[in-house]
Structure 1
Amino acid sequence: RLFQVDSYGKCLHNRELPSQRLRDTSTATTEDSEFMAFIARYKFHLALENAICEDYMTEKLWRPLHVGAVPVYRGSPTVRDWLPSNLSVILIDDFGSPQELAKYLDFLDKNGEEYMKYLEYKNPGGITNRFLLESLEKREWGVNDMTLPNYLNGFECFICDQENARAKEEQEHKRSRGKTPAPRPHIAEFKHMGCPMPVPGYGSIEDLSGTDSWKEMWLQDYWQSLDQGEALTAMIHHNESHQGRFWDYMHEIFLKRTRQH
């Protein structure tokens, strides 16, 4: 009622995708060229994450940025750290009501100069977020860059580097008999792995069939990630490093959880 929205999904669903290929979930969750060309037609994209978690940002945010549209985003509370500039994404939580948001979108839609300010980061030198630029410069992994490790291998290297640095600081602390400060501990807290269980964007879990791809993917990933975190925690507490023990713990945790449910 406040602003025209074209919805191709179950929520509202007032538009049909032009081809069966685009209706395929495997196409819609990638950067398929046909799909990207289709979504690039829009000036704004409603980008609502499946869960509100500190470090959870997905293609719902990145794809509109990629194609030169403006995401209207609700998700990670730390999203500002990773945006190219202060004028690149419209954050829903910055508005007091849907009416305020719709009024602002209408203003941008009717004022081309103001709208184009949200795309200035696309110009050379337009990325002004120093934290983002420095993080990209320092990271040891790449995206679509075969000269660098992928992000999984790169993250493993990052963890090893952090631990080696901590061990070195610990040795210096002991050698100095306390004159050199002890390394600051880095301890995972609930906020790092405390994401709520995902829920469908439309309806409830009970409404979905047992073979629905949403159930098969999101719920399984959620529980598997929790189990893996618990297994790693158990290994750390027991000072264990053998990979086989990880899978032993995973099996024990899975059996415990299935008994509880």
Structure 2
Amino acid sequence: MEYVPSNKDGAKLLYEDFVNVMSQEFELFYEYEDDELDGWIPVSRYVSGEIAGNAAEIINVTHPVIIWWTPFTNEPGTVKNCGNVKCFFTVNRAYKNHSHLKVFMFYGTDYNAADLPLPRQPHHEWGLLHEESPKNNYLLSHNETMILFNHTSTFRRHSDYPLTTQYLQDIKNLTSTKYVVPVKEKNRLIREGLALVAYVQSDCGTPSDRDHLVQMLQQHIAIDSYGSCLHNKDLPEHLHDPLKTMDHEDFYHHLAQYKFVLALENAVCEDYITEKFWRPFLIGSIPIIYGSPKAKEYLPANNTAIFVDDFNTIEELVESILKINRSDDLYNEHVRYKKVGIQNERLQREMESREWFVDDYERLNFIDGFECTVCRRIHRNIELQSKGLPPISQRADLDHYGCPRPQRFRDIPAGSLEKVNNEWWVDQFEHTWYTSRAALQLIQEGKEFGEKELHSRSIQIQYY
């Protein structure tokens, strides 16, 4: 049941056009190209639920059924080609008891332990897609939750369909000189009042305690802080909201004036690397990085960044920044990759082998890629079983997503970069551990449960 958006004249529309015309006042039709359904069906019937979206009226599907239990894709129902195999994908929970149901898919931020497809049957597999921050859902940082999943696509390199480089559109962008400002020009701007370091953030009070780090740095060096966190300087008027304009070329040009840019993640977890990490490299500034313990493995070359975790005190970190600032030759050495190219063979191999693309609507994206990975796995097991062989089973663990307890920088002695538990966030982290353990117990007992039963079991685990 593949479909091609079309108008009444049969002219095919690009995806962007399809989205635009949805709001226009003429009827759209889906053209079904599968033998299950044929002809033309008005989109109004499809979207309203008369076709795949109606819980009381589901279509007869012969392909393996995969349900997005958290309605991430908002897809009422479609058959997707994955090479030489097909699967039916839908957000319609009415297919829960379909004879061909194989997998329930979850988007991590929306995963709710009190809203699960229960009771879980032995032949039902679960899939997890979660490329976002661990602070969005600490349930996924516990093994009791992760072992429930059979298929994973996360920022962790050991997930089944890893998305570690999701914020790097093209490795060639790292060597582009489009935004590069020569060091002598940067020095002139500093003499005229530009700060040595830039900080752009509007998500404040995060588990990584990055604002505290910036405050410690500000006691020693000038930092222009844009966004709402520690705000002390405004962006140009047309860039005043960095959340909406962070990919604007003018924003890149503006930030490129700075010699150093703070690249501080909102949470610390292996392989959690976002646009904050890549942006300084794209514009030719030196990043001051705090986040993934494995981030060094993704540098364009050695000695191209400053890592907070390499220092014991804020004074040591500041001295490293100032040392580079005092020498134009040393500064240029840190951005030499702009001239000589990428020296990190591991990064090159990973980007060359990556089958999905970013912001390219004519090529495979990681959502479709992960869906097809799951689909192919299901068909592989169907084929094995048809030959009398046992299916290949997969089960996730903490290597597929789990992240450590949130930590903050110690208050005493002043300037220490030693870390201790970040109490407010740790409370959330520990609460989700009790919830994870309670959910696992109830699932293993074959029970159906909701918020009330889950809370009761969590309390029992915590206090008894």
* TM-score class normalised by the smaller sequence: 0.5 to 0.7
2:219 matches 1:4: no
What letter corresponds to residue 132 of structure 1 in structure 2? L
Match for 1:42 among 248, 255, 258?
258
Q: Are the counterparts in 1 of residues 305 and 334 from structure 2 also a CA contact under 8 Å?
A: yes
> How far 1:77 moved relative to its partner?
1.1
Normalising by structure 2, we get a TM-score of 0.38
Root mean square deviation, CA, Å:
4.3
Equivalent in the alignment of 1:83: 299
> How far 1:7 moved relative to its partner?
1.9
What letter corresponds to residue 112 of structure 1 in structure 2? D
> How far 1:73 moved relative to its partner?
0.4
Q: Are the counterparts in 2 of residues 47 and 60 from structure 1 also a CA contact under 8 Å?
A: yes
- Over the matched positions of the two proteins, sequence identity in percent amounts to 35
Equivalent in the alignment of 2:176: none
Q: Are the counterparts in 2 of residues 51 and 196 from structure 1 also a CA contact under 8 Å?
A: no
Q: What CA distance in whole angstroms lies between the structure 1 residues aligned with 2:405 and 2:251?
A: 29
> How far 1:91 moved relative to its partner?
0.9
Equivalent in the alignment of 1:16: 233
Equivalent in the alignment of 2:342: 127
Q: What CA distance in whole angstroms lies between the structure 1 residues aligned with 2:334 and 2:274?
A: 20
Aligned residue for 1:153, secondary structure, equals: helix
> How far 1:123 moved relative to its partner?
2.2
Aligned residue for 1:106, secondary structure, equals: helix
Cα offsets for 1:39-96 (capped at 9, x unmatched): 1110101111110011211111111111111110000111122221112221110112
Q: Are the counterparts in 2 of residues 54 and 76 from structure 1 also a CA contact under 8 Å?
A: yes
Cα offsets for 1:2-24 (capped at 9, x unmatched): 222222245543x3214344332
Equivalent in the alignment of 1:195: 403
Cα offsets for 1:212-241 (capped at 9, x unmatched): xxxxxxx9xx99xx9xxx8xx98xx99xxx
Equivalent in the alignment of 1:211: none
Per the alignment, do residues 258 and 75 of structure 1 end up closer, same or farther by CA in structure 2, a change over 3 Å counting?
A: farther
What letter corresponds to residue 225 of structure 2 in structure 1? S
Q: Which has the higher contact order (CA 8 A, sep 6+)?
A: 2
Aligned residue for 2:287, secondary structure, equals: strand
Normalising by structure 1, we get a TM-score of 0.63
2:235 matches 1:27: no
Q: What CA distance in whole angstroms lies between the structure 1 residues aligned with 2:226 and 2:452?
A: 37
What letter corresponds to residue 98 of structure 1 in structure 2? I
Aligned residue for 1:46, secondary structure, equals: strand
Q: Which has the higher strand share?
A: 2
Aligned residue for 1:6, secondary structure, equals: strand
> How far 1:103 moved relative to its partner?
0.6
> How far 1:120 moved relative to its partner?
1.4
Per the alignment, do residues 148 and 10 of structure 1 end up closer, same or farther by CA in structure 2, a change over 3 Å counting?
A: closer
How many positions carry a matched residue from both structures? 210
Match for 2:289 among 64, 73, 76?
73
Is the radius of gyration larger for structure 1 or structure 2?
2
2:333 matches 1:150: no
Equivalent in the alignment of 1:205: none
Equivalent in the alignment of 1:241: none
Q: What CA distance in whole angstroms lies between the structure 2 residues aligned with 1:52 and 1:27?
A: 24
Per the alignment, do residues 4 and 258 of structure 1 end up closer, same or farther by CA in structure 2, a change over 3 Å counting?
A: farther
> How far 1:131 moved relative to its partner?
1.0
